[in-house]
Amino acid sequence: MGQIKLEKVTKSFGDVEVIPPLDLTIGEGEFTVFVGPSGCGKSTLLRLIAGLEDISSGQITIDGQDATNVPPAKRRLAMVFQSYALYPHMSVRKNIAFPLRMAKLDQAEQDKRVEQAASVLNLTDYLDRRPGQLSGGQRQRVAIGRAIVREPAAFLFDEPLSNLDAALRVGMRLEISELHKRLATTMIYVTHDQVEAMTMADKIVVLRAGHIEQVGSPLELYRTPRNLFVAGFIGSPK
C-alpha cells in the first residue's frame, strides 16, 4: 500500500506551465522528501497528488489505480498542514476526530481511532484542551493526529515545521521519523530545509522550476550531485 506513480504529469495555471511533464515513482513505505527553492512547485506537486488540484495532463496512479477522477477524500492520502490549520474553538479530541466526523464514521470507531492516535503521539492527557492551550510542538502533533486517524496509504507533509522555532523543529523532525518507522507508511515531505531533507529522507527529489533535477538517497546526492544547483541545495562540496 502507498505506491504513488506520476507519469508525464503537467500542471498549468492559465498560460503558465508550473510543472512541465514529470515522471516520478514513490515506493511503498518510502520516506520521500521534495526539496527546492521557494516557488519551484513543491506544494503544487503535493496538491496534485492529494487531488486538491487537478493535473493538466498525464496520469497519477495510487497503488496501481488511476487517481484522475478520484476526489481527495477518496484517495486515502492524508495531508498534514502547519499546526495553525487547527480549529481553535474545538478541543484536541474534536480536532483529531474531525475527518472521521466528516466521513460519518460511527462514534465508537471514531473514539477508538482518536485514542490510538493520541497514544502514539503522547497527547492522551491533552485531549480536552483547545489548541491555544498547547505548545507549538503539541499543536503540530494534533495536526499529525488528524492525519493518522484516517489510516491513510500515505502521508503528505507540506513544510509542517516551518512555523516552529529551531529547537522544536529538531524534536519534531525526530518524532516524524520515528512515526515513519513505527507506521511504515509512505510519506512525502516537502521542505526547503536541506538539513531536514538530508536527515529524514530515504529518497530526495530535488526540484527546480517544476522539473526534477535529481532523485537519490541523501548519500547519493551528497557524493554525486549532478550539477551545482543540486550540490548547492544538498550542501555537498562540489
Contacts to ligand ADP by CB under 6 A: 13, 18, 36, 38-44
Q: Are 156 and 188 in contact (CB under 8 A)?
A: yes
Nearer to ligand ADP, 53 or 151 (CB): 53
User: Which stretch in 19-27, 36-44, 86-94, 138-146 sits in contact with Mg ion by CB under 5 A?
Assistant: 36-44
Pick one of ligand ADP, Mg ion, none as the site partner of residue 39 (Cβ within 5 to 8 A by kind).
ligand ADP
Q: Are 17 and 11 in contact (CB under 8 A)?
A: yes
DSSP symbols for 88-143: TTS-HHHHHHHHHHHTT--HHHHHHHHHHHHHHTT-GGGTTS-GGGS-HHHHHHHH
CB of 115 to Mg ion, least distance (A): 33
Which residues lie across from 188 on neighbouring strands?
32, 156
Nearer to ligand ADP, 149 or 190 (CB): 190
Point out the residue whose Cβ comes nearest to Mg ion: 43
CB of 39 to ligand ADP, least distance (A): 4
Pick one of Mg ion, ligand ADP, none as the site partner of residue 216 (Cβ within 5 to 8 A by kind).
none
Binding mask 42-61 for Mg ion (x = CB under 5 A): -x------------------
CB of 42 to Mg ion, least distance (A): 5
CA distance linking residue 164 with residue 49, whole number of Å: 25
Pick one of ligand ADP, Mg ion, none as the site partner of residue 199 (Cβ within 5 to 8 A by kind).
none
Nearer to Mg ion, 9 or 96 (CB): 9
Which residues lie across from 79 on neighbouring strands?
156
- Give how many residues touch Mg ion by CB under 5 A: 1
CA distance linking residue 144 with residue 26, whole number of Å: 21
Query: Which phi and psi angles does 116 have, rounded to 5°?
Result: -65, -45
Q: How far is CA 60 from the centre of its chain?
A: 17
Pick one of ligand ADP, Mg ion, none as the site partner of residue 40 (Cβ within 5 to 8 A by kind).
ligand ADP
Q: What would you measure as the largest C-alpha separation in the chain, in angstroms? A: 56
Nearer to Mg ion, 43 or 177 (CB): 43
42 by DSSP, 3-state: which? helix
For residue 154, count other CB atoms closer than 10 A to its CB: 27
CB of 43 to ligand ADP, least distance (A): 3
User: Which stretch in 40-48, 53-61, 115-123, 124-132 sits in contact with Mg ion by CB under 5 A?
Assistant: 40-48
162 by DSSP, 3-state: which? coil
Nearer to ligand ADP, 19 or 97 (CB): 19
Cell numbers that stand for 144 in this block: 499529525
Site residues, Mg ion (CB under 5 A) = 43
